[in-house]
Homo-oligomer: A and B are copies of this chain.
Amino acid sequence: MTANATMTMSAVSERERGAGDGLNALFRPESIAVLGVTNTPGTVPHDIFRNLIDGRFQGVVYPVAPRKKHIAGVRAYDYVLDIPDPVDLAILVFPGAVCDKALAQCQEKSIKAAIIISAGFREIGPKGAKREERLREVASVGGMRLIGPNCLGVINTEPGVRLNASFARAMPDVGSIAFLSQSGALCTAVLDYAAGRGIGFSKFVSLGNKADVDEVDLLQYLAADPQTSVILMYLEDITRGRALMKAAREITASQENPKPILAIKGGRTAAGAAAAQSHTGALAASAEVCDGVFEQSGIIRCSSIEDMFNTAELLANQPLPKSDRVAIITNAGGPGVMATDAAIARGLQLAQFSEQTEAKLKRALPSTASLRNPVDLIGDAHADRYSAALEAILDDDGADQVLVILTPQSMTDISSVASTICGLKDRAAAAGKTLACSFMGARDVADGVRILQEHHVPHYILPEWAIDAMWHASWYRRWKEREISDIKSFDVDRETAAAILHSEPDGYLPEPQALDVLAAYGFPVVRHGLATSADEAVEFAEELGYPAVLRVVSPKIIHKFEVSGVILNLQDADQVRQAYGAMCDNVLRHISEEDLLGILVRPMIAAGKEMILGINRDRVFGHMLMVGLGGIYVEAFRDVTFRIVPIRESAAGKMIRELRTIRVLEGLRGEAPSDIPAVEDALKRLSQLAHDFPRIAELDINPLIVHPQGQGCHVADVRIRLDNNEIPAH
């Protein structure tokens, strides 16, 4: 690749480089230059250099500081080009305004990667954004990879590397958890929090402004990193949506080396698309979309830092749960009840013990103990009771996850109980059981907790947290084991749809054309005619059948009901004629005659359950497919699920089964079930339609009226908005 060609490379084509290219120089450099370092302790430019030395970096570090002889006892260089040896990684702590010059010298020195700690870029506005673009240009010349700018840095705890290229206070312990964060400051809090819990890390990366390396690159690198078994991310904005999903899916669902990915998405409640015209558009601006994307990628969505580390600890140290069946052992009734409440609320199941297990428990426990799940050992339990109960349950095939709860009674031998559990840890692992503990309290239980932590037995202050971690882990197991179906391709009349969708201007399609597009894709559209006179309306009604419906057609009218542009249930020709006249009179008070294209006439659709199907084109993820409870309840209940287009065959059913409405569709209290397969069929056709036509910006089928099983469904109303702008490239 010539320098010239590279200089004109677009950001997109840059991104086409292979997985983790050049990231080795970032994570495993043998030599590092720190540019802009000073001698003033307590400042970033000094601390970052000290951290490399204090962290016992296993390579060599060169301070670059014009007019300084040495920094913290290490010989300094005026310029990076003065360094006599090759350099793998540059760390820039220069002021933002001069970073590009420093980076150019790094490029000249053939340095393969750089971490730009400095702030003053995109985050401060257009001027900074320009600076950031300049950094990208300089780096791309030599194929240099960049982390930052505006970041905290990078940590790699690998014993042969020991890289603390950050201004975090201390190097974390070695562990198998990788953490990526778009918020640099959150990193310091997370490091400190994890230190308090005895949690170690493999890699730790502050992403900063993501001028070059982003979460997708890092996921690809971490996928192959033998040190990492669990990946944690805090993300705010996502720019390469599809690539993120693909990378995540390849990791979470890998046959050879699957790794769970946990994520928090900040900024979920941001307003913004309140102005969206369609229901789907309004709902697609919300947290539900993020849920859909994570669901489709196998990413575990966490609600807080605590939730994320609680889950990571279980996943990093315990086998994945083989089932949702949880056994609870406790020396205290109340916490057992609370754990049970939490488990049931999360959809986990309380394990039912075998007769043998109950017999074993009966032999080992006092008569006042509860032998059923949750097993109550009674407050005066010592380690022997814990041991007997845990052993019995580990042998029971009916329980695949075990939560051991301890409250510190005055006679409780807390450390012995902890040691007993640790002694049974390998047996639990051999039996494939997921084991977690909750020693409730703080001071009294501290020694016991330390023993558990030293043996990497997951521990939680509250039993509910253990249950939440088990719930996340159970979700991930189900996701990994899900059946992967094909993408259904229906035989459709694509030409007819294309003729309409490629010829109409941006904006809403008139209803007849929108219906024709759906009909071409095999949707259950009711026959209809567009009348421009009362006579014509009557003619259509006579031909198509009564009761008839009239619907105004005008590019100026989006919400027909608001202008009385819909009249239902017309029984005969007279009623049609009268309604036609009344509707024209009425709507012409809102629009001019030339904007009235006609009145659509069709037969009434028999009553049924009202669903909504929709498409919304997201700037980042592209087409999102939605299904949910329709009609007037759409926005009140937000009972909707989202997936990225195209969906696989099995996803259609899953989307519908995730709705609360599923109980209504399945038939409540003796009612006939609805034709769910017909809805699935429509969803899959909609996925294909959206995939075929990027121009579709929004589409609402609301309601889709669903009839009893075997009787199909019908499109009662559809709106399609076309827009050639902002079509994401994937």
A576 to B461: give the CA distance in the assembly, Å.
68
Chain B residue contacts of A183, Cβ below 8 A: 332-335, 337
The interface bits of chain A over 318-336 (1 if a CB of B lies within 8 angstroms of the residue's CB, else 0) are 0000000000001111110
Stretch from A186-194, A243-251, A419-427, A679-687 that touches the partner: A186-194
Q: Known A183-B335, A195-B443; judge A267-B189 contact (CB<8 A).
A: no
Task: Return the contact of A671 from the options B236, B443, B632 (Cβ within 8 A).
Answer: B632
A273 to B379: give the CA distance in the assembly, Å.
31
Task: Give A631 Cβ to nearest chain B Cβ, in Å.
Answer: 9
Task: Give A708 Cβ to nearest chain B Cβ, in Å.
Answer: 13
Task: Tell whether, in the assembled complex, residue B181 and residue A334 are in contact, meaning their CB atoms are under 8 Å apart.
Answer: yes
Task: Tell whether, in the assembled complex, residue B44 and residue A410 are in contact, meaning their CB atoms are under 8 Å apart.
Answer: yes
* A489: Cβ under 8 A from any B Cβ: no
Chain B residue contacts of A338, Cβ below 8 A: 264, 266, 304-305
* A275: Cβ under 8 A from any B Cβ: no
A107-156 residues at the B interface, CB under 8 angstroms: 119-120, 123-124, 152
A335: nearest chain-B partner, CB-CB:
B186
Chain B residue contacts of A266, Cβ below 8 A: 334, 337-338, 341
Task: Tell whether, in the assembled complex, residue B169 and residue A444 are in contact, meaning their CB atoms are under 8 Å apart.
Answer: yes
Task: Tell whether, in the assembled complex, residue A186 and residue B47 are in contact, meaning their CB atoms are under 8 Å apart.
Answer: no
Stretch from A517-525, A538-546, A587-595, A656-664 that touches the partner: A656-664
Task: Tell whether, in the assembled complex, residue A670 and residue B441 are in contact, meaning their CB atoms are under 8 Å apart.
Answer: no
Task: Tell whether, in the assembled complex, residue B559 and residue A669 are in contact, meaning their CB atoms are under 8 Å apart.
Answer: yes
Task: Return the contact of A304 from the options B44, B182, B462 (Cβ within 8 A).
Answer: B462
Chain B residue contacts of A441, Cβ below 8 A: 188-193, 195-196
Task: Give A635 Cβ to nearest chain B Cβ, in Å.
Answer: 6
* A445: Cβ under 8 A from any B Cβ: yes
A367: nearest chain-B partner, CB-CB:
B124
A17-71 residues at the B interface, CB under 8 angstroms: 42-44, 47, 51
Task: Tell whether, in the assembled complex, residue B120 and residue A337 are in contact, meaning their CB atoms are under 8 Å apart.
Answer: no
A182 to B338: give the CA distance in the assembly, Å.
12
A264 to B462: give the CA distance in the assembly, Å.
14
* A637: Cβ under 8 A from any B Cβ: yes
Task: Return the contact of A192 from the options B44, B445, B671 (Cβ within 8 A).
Answer: B445
Chain B residue contacts of A234, Cβ below 8 A: 334
* A97: Cβ under 8 A from any B Cβ: no
Task: Give A665 Cβ to nearest chain B Cβ, in Å.
Answer: 9
A438-458 residues at the B interface, CB under 8 angstroms: 440-445
A120 to B368: give the CA distance in the assembly, Å.
8
Task: Return the contact of A461 from the options B184, B193, B464 (Cβ within 8 A).
Answer: B193
A192: nearest chain-B partner, CB-CB:
B441
The interface bits of chain A over 152-187 (1 if a CB of B lies within 8 angstroms of the residue's CB, else 0) are 100000000000000111100000000001111110
A330: nearest chain-B partner, CB-CB:
B185
* A668: Cβ under 8 A from any B Cβ: yes
* A258: Cβ under 8 A from any B Cβ: no
Task: Give A96 Cβ to nearest chain B Cβ, in Å.
Answer: 10
* A344: Cβ under 8 A from any B Cβ: yes
Task: Tell whether, in the assembled complex, residue A408 and residue B192 are in contact, meaning their CB atoms are under 8 Å apart.
Answer: yes
Q: Known A234-B334, A331-B185; judge A192-B442 contact (CB<8 A).
A: yes
Task: Tell whether, in the assembled complex, residue A633 and residue B664 are in contact, meaning their CB atoms are under 8 Å apart.
Answer: yes
Task: Give A169 Cβ to nearest chain B Cβ, in Å.
Answer: 5
A sample of 13 more A-B contacts (CB under 8 A), given A188-B444, A632-B668, is A42-B410, A124-B368, A182-B334, A183-B334, A183-B337, A192-B441, A269-B344, A306-B461, A633-B661, A636-B661, A637-B637, A637-B639, A637-B660
Q: 4 smallest A-B Cβ distances: which pairs?
A: A196-B442, A183-B334, A185-B332, A192-B441
Tell me the A residues contacting B by CB distance below 8 Å: 42-44, 47, 51, 119-120, 123-124, 152, 167-170, 181-186, 188-197, 234, 236, 264, 266-269, 303-306, 330-335, 337-338, 340-341, 344-345, 367-368, 378-380, 407-412, 440-445, 461-462, 464, 559, 561-562, 609, 629, 632-633, 635-637, 639, 660-664, 668-671
| 17 A-B interface contacts by CB (under 8 A) | A124-B367, A152-B379, A169-B408, A183-B332, A184-B332, A189-B332, A189-B408, A192-B440, A193-B441, A196-B442, A264-B338, A303-B464, A559-B669, A629-B633, A633-B661, A635-B663, A637-B639
